[in-house]
Amino acid sequence: MKTSTPIKTLSIVGARPNFMKIAPVMDALATHAVDQLLVHTGQHYDANMSKVFFDELGLPKPDLYLGVGSASHARQTAAVMTALEDVFNEHRPDLVLVAGDVNSTMAAALVAAKASIPLAHIEAGLRSFDRTMPEEVNRVVVDHLSDFLFVTEESGHRNLIHEGLAEDRIHLVGNCMVDSLKRHLDRALEASPWEAFDLAPETFALLTLHRPSNVDDPAALRQMLDTLSEVSQQLPILFPVHPRTRSRIADSGIELPASLQLCGPQPYLTFLGLMAKARLVLTDSGGIQEETTALDVPCLTLRWNTERPVTVDQGSNRLVGTDPQAIHQGCRAILAGDWPRARQPPLWDGKAGQRIAATIMQWVETRE
Ligand code: UD1
């Protein structure tokens, strides 16, 4: 039976990788009887880490902005929780939606669970099995508190079952980040963003580096940058520098190799266009492993583990860790054309947001 009373959802975003995951879900829910509110915690606040993503993704302006900013993990998490408790008390949503694995995601999940508000986790079940990663702690906590576990790849389903979570909460729906990618790729390419950096398609590498394990230890960071500088003798490297990395470089007094072409964090469309036309991508990001697989662009992940194994098993991603030999070898193989083509993981078809909306609306009907 179709209900005429709209349900009220509250979606919470905070950091850059949340925005492209929530956009397709909010879009799909907009075609149903749903009153949607969007809350931005302010974990990321620089215009080029936040506002530009809202504009380019067509996200509505947040109804509420909590302005928590940067702090230690405990302080940042606590600030989001304290502010959200008041928001939930005031708005009493029927469902809270969170995405990914950042501190804002976990903080929101804890508050929703304590307020007995049903909780949906977009991108559930991913596990690196490395609890030294702050995101892994966030993932485990959020999944165990969630009523809806929206999973991007089969490993996520297996992990959740292994952790004793109920099968009927788990929904393999595909990948919302890939929904956004498919929707915006043509526009991203039309802008030829490589031209602004004096680069030609498929003649450059794109680098991102921001994980604490890679950038917080000055010796490790120096070794990584030296290795990448050697790579850049064969292929120009464009390096949009995350603010965290920029401040670690400044603090440690490392002189950046002149051969790396540096720029600030890039808008969504610019970065997507650059990724699509890179000869190869070097990264320690989670999401970029998925985006390069969706684009069939070779990716070397500068970590020893991945919570997204489908990008290695079926995609164009390989783990090279921080070992200079492995990084060089990976680059050589890619440049020699000795690299597998990506096969697209099941349901990475641009319709994950719609599947999530359909599941939510089914729940609404059974609840009536
Ligand atoms: C966060 C997420 C990480 C995600 C990344 C994407 C957690 C635990 N980590 O890491 O999973 O991959 O976002 O970018 O939630 N800063 C600015 N401007 C901003 C935001 C941050 O200058 O708009 C600087 C601040 O110095 C801050 C530092 O970056 O202290 C780190 O920001 P924070 O949000 O704590 O974590 P990220 O490293 O961005």
pLDDT digit string (tens) for 270-307? Answer: 999 999 999 999 999 999 999 999 999 999 999 999 99
Minimal-distance CA residue to ligand 1 atom 19 = 44
- State the distance from the centre of ligand 1 to the C-alpha of 325, rounded, in angstroms: 29
- Secondary structure string (H, E, C) spanning the chain: CCCCCCEEEEEEECCHHHHHHHHHHHHHHCCCCEEEEEEECCCCCCHHHCHHHHHHHCCCCCCEECCCCCCCHHHHHHHHHHHHHHHHHHHCCCEEEEECCCHHHHHHHHHHHHCCCCEEEEEECCCCCCCCCHHHHHHHHHHHHCCEEEECCHHHHHHHHHCCCCHHHEEECCCHHHHHHHHHHHHHHHCCHHHHHCCCCCCCEEEECCCHHHHCCHHHHHHHHHHHHHHCCCCCEEEECCHHHHHHHHHHCCCCCCCEEEECCCCHHHHHHHHHCCCEEEECCCHHHHHHHHHCCCEEECCCCCCCCHHHHCCCEEECCCCHHHHHHHHHHHHCCCCCCCCCCCCCCCCHHHHHHHHHHHHHHHHC
Residue 1 confidence (pLDDT): 46
- State the distance from the centre of ligand 1 to the C-alpha of 168, rounded, in angstroms: 34
- Tell the burial category of 270 from Cβ atoms under 10 Å away from its Cβ (0-12, 13-18, 19+): buried
Minimal-distance CA residue to ligand 1 atom 29 = 244
Residue 299 confidence (pLDDT): 98
Mutate to test the pocket of ligand 1, among 43, 45, 138, 140 (most ligand atoms within 8 A of CB): 43
Q: Which CATH code fits 183-335?
A: 3.40.50.2000
pLDDT digits (tens, 9 = 90+) for 63-95: 999 999 999 999 999 999 999 999 999 999 999
Question: pTM for this structure?
Answer: 0.97
Minimal-distance CA residue to ligand 1 atom 39 = 244
Assign residue 58 a region (left: φ > 0; alpha: ψ between -120 and 50; beta: otherwise): left
Minimal-distance CA residue to ligand 1 atom 22 = 243
- State the distance from the centre of ligand 1 to the C-alpha of 44, rounded, in angstroms: 6
Asked whether 224 and 209 are in contact (CB, 8 A), the reply is yes
Residue 317 confidence (pLDDT): 98
Mutate to test the pocket of ligand 1, among 48, 102, 209, 307 (most ligand atoms within 8 A of CB): 102
Q: Which residue has the higher pLDDT, 113 or 368?
A: 113
Q: Which atom of ligand 1 is nearest to the CA of 210?
A: 38
Residue 300 confidence (pLDDT): 98
Residue 333 confidence (pLDDT): 98
Which pairing describes strands 34-40 and 170-172: parallel, antiparallel, or unpaired?
unpaired
Beta-bridge partner residues of 35 = 8
Minimal-distance CA residue to ligand 1 atom 18 = 46
Q: Look over the chain and give the mean of its residue pLDDT values, rounded to a whole number.
A: 96
Minimal-distance CA residue to ligand 1 atom 12 = 285
Average pLDDT of the segment spanning 90-112: 98
- State the distance from the centre of ligand 1 to the C-alpha of 244, rounded, in angstroms: 6
- Tell the burial category of 367 from Cβ atoms under 10 Å away from its Cβ (0-12, 13-18, 19+): exposed
Per-residue pLDDT band for 218 (boundaries 50, 70, 90) equals: very high
Separation CA 43–CA 341 (nearest Å): 36
- State the distance from the centre of ligand 1 to the C-alpha of 42, rounded, in angstroms: 11
The residue count of the chain comes to 368
- State the distance from the centre of ligand 1 to the C-alpha of 33, rounded, in angstroms: 35
- Residues having CB within 6 Å of any atom of ligand 1: 15-17, 43-46, 49, 70, 101-103, 134-135, 210, 242-244, 247
Residue 255 confidence (pLDDT): 84
Q: Which atom of ligand 1 is nearest to the CA of 71?
A: 30
Residue 104 confidence (pLDDT): 98
210 is known as an active-site residue = yes
Average pLDDT of the segment spanning 318-328: 97
Minimal-distance CA residue to ligand 1 atom 10 = 102
- State the distance from the centre of ligand 1 to the C-alpha of 250, rounded, in angstroms: 16
Residue 254 confidence (pLDDT): 87
Spell out the domain ranges in the chain: 7-174+348-366, 183-335
Residue 86 confidence (pLDDT): 98
Distances in whole angstroms, Cα of residue 136 to Cα of each of 128, 139, 171, 209: 7, 5, 20, 18
> Going by C-beta distance under 8 Å and a sequence separation of 6 or more, which residues neighbour residue 367?
none
From 32, 210, 242, 328, active-site residue: 210
CB < 8 Å & 24+ apart, contacts of 297-302: 298/334, 298/339, 300/327, 300/330, 300/331, 300/334, 302/209, 302/214, 302/224, 302/327
7-174+348-366 and 183-335 have identical folds: yes
For 7-174+348-366, CATH number out of 3.40.50.2000, 3.40.50.300, 1.20.58.220, 3.40.50.720 equals: 3.40.50.2000
Separation CA 280–CA 261 (nearest Å): 15
Q: Which atom of ligand 1 is nearest to the CA of 286?
A: 12
Q: Which atom of ligand 1 is nearest to the CA of 287?
A: 12
